[in-house]
Amino acid sequence: DTGVSQDPRHKITKRGQNVTFRCDPISEHNRLYWYRQTLGQGPEFLTYFQNEAQLEKSRLLSDRFSAERPKGSFSTLEIQRTEQGDSAMYLCASSLNSRPRTDTQYFGPGTRLTVL
Amino acid sequence: AQKITQTQPGMFVQEKEAVTLDCTYDTSDQSYGLFWYKQPSSGEMIFLIYQGSYDEQNATEGRYSLNFQKARKSANLVISASQLGDSAMYFCAMREGYNQGGKLIFGQGTELSVKP
């Protein structure tokens, strides 16, 4: 039973470049979440999918950020025209809505982005 | 608005002793879920324990238990018989709604150090 995987694990880019991250959820999970975590803080919610539908986006998610989950399986998060303030750990999580359990979110190892 | 407060930036505990990590929350919803996650230095968020707002008994998972005091809006994590491998950041999180999907709101975390 494989967990959530993310690729790449580390990304260094120059300001103004575009970057794309990939998340593969646990295989039977229908919900997928993206969070961002800066140093010394807890994760902050970015966006959430149920199957292929994007159900919620944070106001933190500027127009430079876009996320997709085209076939309800893996997801991509793209950041256009990166800024130094985008430097953070980007975490992906997945969950399965199954009663009576808790819809617990299981996290991947994260992608650490550094914008120079 | 939802808010999670963890007032202990750092805690020390002697190996084999028990430790309590504090978490208070604020929500106007009657239905919500509370979670604790562990984040070792490797960065991955590891799910530890869940408490639903309507659960009458405090949750337990092995050496982890959750001291849920609904009237005080607190959900403290108790780790019994601390081990060196318990040294990590610990995050309390809340999701509004019961047994349904949705974003997690995280606290700022507590860094636990276990001394041999």
Over residues A82-90, mean pLDDT: 96
Statement: residue A100 has pLDDT above 60: no
How far apart (Å, rounded) are the C-alpha atoms in residues B93 and A102?
A: 13
How remote is the C-alpha of A106 from its chain's centroid? Answer: 12
Residue A98 has pLDDT above 70, yes or no: no
Q: How confident is the model at residue B102 (pLDDT cuts 50, 70, 90)?
A: confident
The pLDDT assigned to A2 comes to: 81
The verdict on a CB contact (< 8 Å) between A99 and B99 is yes
Report the pLDDT value the prediction gives residue A71, as an integer from 0 to 100: 86
Interface touch A89/B43, C-beta < 8 Å:
yes
Task: Please write the tens of the pLDDT for every residue from A12-38.
Answer: 999 999 999 999 999 989 899 999 999
More reliable by pLDDT, B110 or B31: B110
Inform me whether the pLDDT recorded for A99 exceeds 60: no
Residue A55 in contact with residue A95, Cβ under 8 Å? no
A105 phi, psi to nearest 5 deg: -90, 130
B34, B35, B103, B105, best to mutate vs chain A, most A CBs in 10 Å: B103
d(CA B61, CA B77): 11
What's the mean pLDDT when you consider all of chain A? Answer: 92
Q: Sort A59 into a burial class: Cβ within 10 Å, 0-12 / 13-18 / 19+.
A: exposed
A68 CB within 8 Å of a chain B CB: no
From first CA to last CA, the distance across chain A in angstroms is 37
Q: pLDDT, tens digit, for every residue of B37-91? A: 999 998 999 999 999 988 889 999 999 999 999 999 999 999 999 999 999 999 9
Cβ contact A108:A4 at 8 Å: yes
B37-49 as b/e, with b when 16 or more CB fall inside 10 Å?
bbbeeebbbebbb
